[in-house]
Amino acid sequence: MIFGICLRGINSWNFRQMVDFFTEFMPMIIFAVGFFGYMVILIFVKWSINWDHRMAIGSCSYDQQGIIIIIIIIIFIIIIIMFIIIILFIIVIFIIIEHQISLSS
């Protein structure tokens, strides 16, 4: 993405479109570099934290809440899978009915 933004900036600079360079390229590159840089910093911060120690001191205690959340997520996934199966079943029924109608006529 940043490569494409840089190409856009080079094009606007080459064709002397300074308004496009300062009003499109500069905000786009600042946002992209800032956003991706922020995500990279967050990844390194996450890797540098000793999570076992934090859980041991009680800021994130070991308890049953995690199991409840996992159960809720599993139930949600099962409901989504059942919904997808029902939709696919309805689509197959419509295809069969359409095929039967085309054979009879």
Reported as a single tens digit per residue, the pLDDT across 52-93 is 776 666 655 555 556 777 777 888 888 888 888 888 888 888
Q: Do 67 and 37 share a structural domain?
A: no
Tell me the pTM.
0.46
Same domain, 57 and 79: no
On the 0-12 / 13-18 / 19+ scale of CB atoms within 10 A, 25 is: buried
Whether 55 and 67 share a structural domain: no
How far apart are the C-alpha atoms of 41 and 35, rounded to whole Å? Answer: 10
Cα-flanking dihedrals φ and ψ of residue 22, to 5°? Answer: -85, -25
Looking at the structure, do residues 48 and 88 belong to the same domain, yes or no? no
Same domain, 5 and 43: yes
- The whole-number pLDDT of residue 8 equals 92
Structural domain harbouring 73: 63-105
| 12 and 35 belong to one structural domain | yes
